[in-house]
Structure 1
Amino acid sequence: MIERFLRPPSGTAEWLADALRVVGLLSLFVAGFVWSPTDAGILAFTLPALVLPRFLGVRAGFDILFSVSVLVAAWSNVIDLYRTVPGWDLLVHFECTGVLAVMLYVFAGRLRIIPDVVGTRPPARTPIVLATIIGLAISALWEMVEWAGYTFITDEIFVEYADTIGDMAAGGLGALVGGLIATRVHLLE
């Protein structure tokens, strides 16, 4: 994994993917100076996610989609799109959880937790089932983080039962769609 991470980018798409990682790092500082430490903390969560595709050696297009998704999800919180744009919350939960679930599916393969996905075509049901399970787990974990943030840090975080269930359902559906797409698209270099 280290060799893949340290390999210089080749081609425009890989340079763009690396530029998005720089945008993520700069976002942390911008949010910290222009908005609040809480907002900087939200963007700090993106940094490990933004470098993960580089370690895993996913195709540049998937890397870009993943990185944009993570940055949009984080910045949507900072600039309050989840509260001000109707349906935005569900759309982001659907899309971002879908790409996150597929990325974690690849990660599990690279760690040999599941059969490695490199150079093989697993049965179609494998990424569908595993990405959906991963997506539902991510959704539950995220909602717990929101609850903990609301309970212990700030009451500015919106937590409500219907919102929580809706977010988890949208995330699970997005992960299912991500798993379906993963059966058709080659994700790794």
Structure 2
Amino acid sequence: MRGTTVEHLLLPGDVVRAAVAVSVVVGGATFGGPAAALFLLVLGGALVPRLLGLRTVLDVCFGSCLLLAAWAALLRWYEAVSWLDLLVHAVCTGLVAAVGVLALVRSRVVAPWASGWRRAGLIVTTTAVGALGAVLWELGEWAGYTYVDDEIRVGYADTIGDLAFGLLGALAAGVVIAVWRPAQDSDDAR
């Protein structure tokens, strides 16, 4: 494969993105236009790790979690398994927070850890990005319920629970990133 770079190879995350693309068609044909729109949103999100060149494990976990969350909603798994909604909010929000912080670092909106970030600052920033993601997710659920499909489950208790578990997931992601990041921070190396 002379002259081929990693960017041109099919990566495991691309398999997940292909599954999302198939879901746009299958979900749309089975459940209608709102389902197709949901999977198009998931596809847009699943493209972010590829565009940022993030590590394969994060790429696959991120896209798979978004895909699972969408199918679980359409197939009413959240109604069948009472704790699944909170688990998905925690895991997906944590992954959104991780990808979001890495996107901010790569685009130089925030300073990378190699520039002197302390672990606590990284945890707080990741948690804040996740909190924003959780709020936007809940606004999306409300908008979906209000304007698209009144079967989307919303309500005070659901929203507060989703936000709480999303925040916990974002905090956990911040801790993981702070612990696993490269030991390039000269303040931490002392």
TM-score range, shorter chain: 0.7 to 0.9
Structure 2 Cα separation of the partners of residues 60 and 186 of structure 1: 16
What do residues 150-184 of structure 1 show as CA deviations (whole Å, max 9, x unaligned)?
12222111111011000000000000000000112
Structure 1 Cα separation of the partners of residues 19 and 180 of structure 2: 27
> More deviation in 65-74 or 89-98?
65-74
What do residues 23-43 of structure 1 show as CA deviations (whole Å, max 9, x unaligned)?
111110010112221111111
Q: Find runs of 4+ consecutive structure 1 residues off by over 6 angstroms.
A: none
1:67-86 mapped onto 2 (5 Å cutoff): 67-86=63-82
Residue correspondences, number = 177
Structure 2 Cα separation of the partners of residues 152 and 67 of structure 1: 26
Paired position in structure 1 for 2:165: 170
Structure 2 portions without partners, runs of 5+: 1-5, 183-190
Structure 1 residues 125 and 40, CA gap change in structure 2 (3 angstroms) = same
Paired position in structure 2 for 1:124: 119
Structure 1 Cα separation of the partners of residues 74 and 171 of structure 2: 28
Paired position in structure 1 for 2:55: 59
1:133-152 mapped onto 2 (5 Å cutoff): 133-152=128-147
Paired position in structure 1 for 2:151: 156
Shift of 1:46: 0.6
Alignment RMSD (CA, Å):
1.8
Paired position in structure 2 for 1:3: none
Structure 2 Cα separation of the partners of residues 71 and 121 of structure 1: 36
Paired position in structure 1 for 2:8: 8
Structure 2 Cα separation of the partners of residues 7 and 149 of structure 1: 36
Structure 1 residues 87 and 121, CA gap change in structure 2 (3 angstroms) = farther
2:27 to 28, 31, 42: 31
TM-score by length of 2: 0.87
What do residues 85-124 of structure 1 show as CA deviations (whole Å, max 9, x unaligned)?
110000000000001111000011111110135x667321
Structure 1 portions without partners, runs of 5+: 1-5
Shift of 1:186: 4.3
Please tell me whether Structure 1 or Structure 2 has the larger radius of gyration of its CA atoms. 2
Q: What is the identity percentage for the equivalent residue pairs of Structure 1 and Structure 2?
A: 35
Paired position in structure 1 for 2:174: 179
Amino acid at match of 1:7: E
Give the SS at the match of 2:112. Answer: coil
Shift of 1:15: 2.4
Structure 1 Cα separation of the partners of residues 181 and 28 of structure 2: 38
